[in-house]
Structure 1
Amino acid sequence: MKEQSQRLGTQPIPKLLANLSIPAMIGMFVMALYNVIDTLFIARGVGILGVSGVSIGFPVMMIIMAISAAVGIGGASVISRRLGENKPEEADQVFGNILFMIVAVSSFGLIGAFTFLEPLLKLFGATENILPYATDYLFPIMLGSIFFSFAFTTNSIIRSEGNSKFAMMTMIIPAVLNIILDPIFIFGLNMGVQGASVATVLSQATVTLVVLNYFLKGRSSLTIKAAYLKPQWNVIREILTIGMPAFIRQVSGSGMMIAINLMLIKFGGEFEVGVFGIVQKLAMFTIMPMIGVLQGMQPIIGYNYGANNDSRLKETVLLGMKVVTVISTGIFVVMMVFPEGLMNIFTGDAETIETGAYAIRIMFALAMLIGAQVVSGGLYQALGMAKPALILSMARQVLFLIPLVLILPNFFGVTGVWLAFPLSDLLAFALSMIFLYKDRRLFFKSKKDAPPYEATEKPFSI
């Protein structure tokens, strides 16, 4: 086992969490920055209808990422625990099955590009004016879905073996390339919205080659073996069971955007959809640092749980919670004080700035509660406990946000869409605290001492 994996059980927790989380945070920050700049170029070069088209098409892209997240995060949890148990052969076997699933899943995106793309976009709320922009953006994305799937999935795998710096680079490389290529394709080649998606696909294809070289050249603790590429259904089932919360979280994000876009068109119009497209990119940008902390925590938790190092597990959980709470509080302050300045980055239109700032102040009114929500579900997921992880991953978006988005606008109009966000934050935070209090001993004990709740839940059960 390489040193990058062994340090998960030996390095002091504050230093280890910093070493794993900071690269993840930087990588996520750069990826979020790319999303913001991508939207900025479209807003400045195409207009608010172009942003609306991307906003309508983005849920489809999120579904592709949802499947990749299920495979990558589920596989990363299994691999980190196998490495913690000193079972490198089994870890290689899991990785081989992950590669098989990437190829199998990507074929659906390729087929979908030529068959059901336009009907799907209409179902998701594309109007006659928005549909051309949404189609132009999404068609290249679906053609290149194998690159997205591979890069997104393997990032989690690389992080699970403790190589956080290279995982960071696999996020930075495509983001930087995308930022460079965007103006060339959008403005230089006059490709508009489609130029943004072509730049994205080329960037992901480039990082796919970099990651393949990493594994094939022996820089990883994992080895690609032809015999392990043959699917083993018990391994696939374990991966997908553990990864299901990540899938639900991503798909619910897609469902959330679909519901919001439909209600904005019903109670507002195409203009409000475009405004939300900008605000949503800012929201993604703010949550990335907390996800980076969680990504740094998960391999430590999985490894030390597998190695029965319960004191290190406890220290990781407490420290991680403190860090995300500080971050989410800082986000609250920024969003309350500077919303007009943030909107002004994307557009000079006074009405768009005013509407966006109004939405931001409502949506982020309880942002200080977001950190605990993000971490809580991830803790259960790192331990391979699919059921509580699934419930907590569904809580904010599926159990609370989507129903509130569908109900509140009937009473408050477009403002009801914005109000759904802080209310769902409050409810999801309360549910997270109930789970963590109920299972407060779980994260502080070894597997043999875990409460009956955990003992009845096997990695293979749903």
Structure 2
Amino acid sequence: MTKISSETLGTQPIGKLLIQQAVPASIGILVMSLNMIVDTAFLGNWIGGLAISAVQVVLPFTFFIGAIGLAIGIGGSSVLSRALGSGDHDKALRVFGNQTTLTFLISGSLALVGLLFQDFFIGFLGAEDSFKEYALVYYKIVLYGIVMLSMAMMGNNVIRAEGKPKFAMVAMILPAIGNIFLDYLLINVMGYGMEGAAWATFISYAICFGFILWFFIVKSELQLNLECIKLKKKIVNEISGLSFVTLARQGTIAVLGILLNNVLGNYGDELDIASYGIIRTVLMFALFPVIGVNQGFMPIAGYNYGAEKFQRVRESINTSITYGGILAILIFIIIMVFPQEFISIFVSTKESLDPETLADNREILKRTPSALRIVFLATPVIIVQLIGSAYFQSIGKVIPALLLSLTKQGFFLIPLILLLPPFLGVLGVWIAFPIADVLSTILTGYYLNREVRKTLALPKTA
């Protein structure tokens, strides 16, 4: 039998493997982040700050449906990685087939519900009258293509689990580049405004889905057949347990987004919602190398745990935290020194703008830099929380993975956002972020250290 590429996860040096896995993931995330930056900048400069607010209120719902694929992809790929690590290629194939069916059925059903009850959801998500029309236009068109995004997010994680991160990177880069070009064409050149922004996003989903479909037909070692895509209770249960960890985390993020939009609207105004839209985009962009390290870590840990090479698992944890920590400190310094430069990308202060839009943009530029600094205060320590929750998920321990993945957003950030603004106003929202980061890192670090001493110290290395 020809040696499959996934076997290198159990043989190459951990540092080299982590770089091989993390760099393509980081590049892909970087390009996607640049896409978000350009997208947000185009909206702010060519349509206005309220367009950013509109996209910000729509994102939690569309994000959650797309995250169905991410959850099934990450959860199922944990099972798939361990199956490949133990040499059970047939199980890996069945897992992938069931991932495909589950993603299509669940995301398709949610998209249909979202379209049937669009007026209810737009109001529930926090759209205010000043930008509700923008939000509804964007919402409807993006939902038409959300199933493609969900399928692509699932497939991307399977590609990475196969040990082929460069293809996963390309799958993220192509739609990002396409979306930037289409934004320019449809918004600026053809003048379609918010509708153009939405169709650019829809087409970018189709590009990503098309590339991933091509990969699995032509390049993958997991060649599906009709038998594989039939749902099997045992496989579904195994996928679902681990997928629920990611889905709960992403669902909590979606709830957090809805809560933030409503709290910022209540204690501030639509410009504070726009500020958070910008901060959210900067978070995604600035943390791309840290998230890349985290994504690169998971298949390495899962494969070696499945192969009972526990010393390699322990080494992958230490190396990932070290690399990620160094990157996080550098990011922290850059944000603290250059907040104004980041914010100025997203809004224009050209005198040619109409007076109302110009006034809004200037106010956003005034408010957002200090908020950005506060949100990033705990950046140097977040890698411990990311690696800790990812470790338990990659080795198939559902309950600790679930609880630790919810610590920041669910256990700390959401309660803090409810408690602090009545006393501190909008400032309370921003302060809640670093407090939640520190508390979740302390808790995760404790449980990760205990697990490493208890499990990975056992003399079972191969």
**Distance verdict in 2 for CA 1:442–1:201, change over 3 Å:** farther
Whole-Å separation in 2 of the counterparts to 1:177 and 1:153:
20
Whole-Å separation in 1 of the counterparts to 2:54 and 2:335:
25
Q: Residues 313 and 443 of structure 1 are in contact (CA less than 8 Å); yes or no, is this contact kept in structure 2? A: no
Q: Deviations over 1:36-61 (max 9, x none)?
A: 11111001111111100001001011
Q: Residues 66 and 249 of structure 1 are in contact (CA less than 8 Å); yes or no, is this contact kept in structure 2? A: no
Whole-Å separation in 2 of the counterparts to 1:252 and 1:301:
25
Between 188-197 and 79-88, the greater mean CA deviation after superposition:
188-197
Whole-Å separation in 2 of the counterparts to 1:173 and 1:229:
27
Structure 1 equivalent of residue 274 of structure 2: 274
Matched, 1:444 2:446: no
Structure 1 equivalent of residue 39 of structure 2: 38
Structure 1: any 5+ residue segments left out of the alignment? 450-462
Structure 1 equivalent of residue 194 of structure 2: 193
Amino acid at match of 1:266: N
Amino acid at match of 1:438: R
Q: Taking structure 1 as the reference length, what is the TM-score of the superposition?
A: 0.94
Q: 2:376 aligns with which of 358, 364, 371?
A: 364
Q: Deviations over 1:201-247 (max 9, x none)?
A: 21221222222122112x21211111111111221111111121211
Q: Deviations over 1:360-393 (max 9, x none)?
A: 1111112112111111100110001111111111
Amino acid at match of 2:284: M
Structure 2: any 5+ residue segments left out of the alignment? 350-360
Q: How many Å apart are 1:436 and its aligned residue?
A: 1.5
Q: Deviations over 1:287-308 (max 9, x none)?
A: 3222211111111111111111
Q: 1:411 aligns with which of 423, 435, 458?
A: 423
Matched, 1:392 2:392: no
Structure 2 equivalent of residue 237 of structure 1: 237
Q: How many positions carry a matched residue from both structures?
A: 448
Whole-Å separation in 2 of the counterparts to 1:317 and 1:110:
37
Q: How many Å apart are 1:447 and its aligned residue?
A: 9.8
Q: Residues 182 and 196 of structure 1 are in contact (CA less than 8 Å); yes or no, is this contact kept in structure 2? A: yes
Q: Deviations over 1:67-91 (max 9, x none)?
A: 1121000111011000001010111
Q: How many Å apart are 1:2 and its aligned residue?
A: 4.7
* 1:294-373 aligned within 5 A: 294-347=294-347, 348=349, 349-373=361-385
Structure 1 equivalent of residue 433 of structure 2: 421
**Distance verdict in 2 for CA 1:411–1:447, change over 3 Å:** farther
Q: Deviations over 1:268-289 (max 9, x none)?
A: 1111111111111111212322
Q: Taking structure 2 as the reference length, what is the TM-score of the superposition?
A: 0.94
Q: How many Å apart are 1:109 and its aligned residue?
A: 3.9
Q: How many Å apart are 1:130 and its aligned residue?
A: 2.0
Whole-Å separation in 2 of the counterparts to 1:225 and 1:360:
49
Whole-Å separation in 1 of the counterparts to 2:202 and 2:458:
44
Structure 2 equivalent of residue 255 of structure 1: 255
Whole-Å separation in 1 of the counterparts to 2:272 and 2:132:
16
Amino acid at match of 1:270: E
Structure 2 equivalent of residue 458 of structure 1: none
Amino acid at match of 2:104: V
Structure 2 equivalent of residue 126 of structure 1: 127
Q: How many Å apart are 1:435 and its aligned residue?
A: 0.8
Q: 1:377 aligns with which of 389, 395, 402?
A: 389
Between 419-428 and 288-297, the greater mean CA deviation after superposition:
288-297
Matched, 1:75 2:76: yes
Amino acid at match of 1:418: W
Output the aligned Cα RMSD. Answer: 1.5
Amino acid at match of 1:151: A
Q: Residues 67 and 153 of structure 2 are in contact (CA less than 8 Å); yes or no, is this contact kept in structure 1? A: no
Q: How many Å apart are 1:101 and its aligned residue?
A: 0.9
Amino acid at match of 1:12: P
Helix, strand or coil at the partner of 1:229: coil
Structure 1 equivalent of residue 356 of structure 2: none
Q: How many Å apart are 1:440 and its aligned residue?
A: 2.4
Whole-Å separation in 2 of the counterparts to 1:301 and 1:406:
37
Matched, 1:401 2:413: yes
Q: Residues 61 and 254 of structure 2 are in contact (CA less than 8 Å); yes or no, is this contact kept in structure 1? A: yes
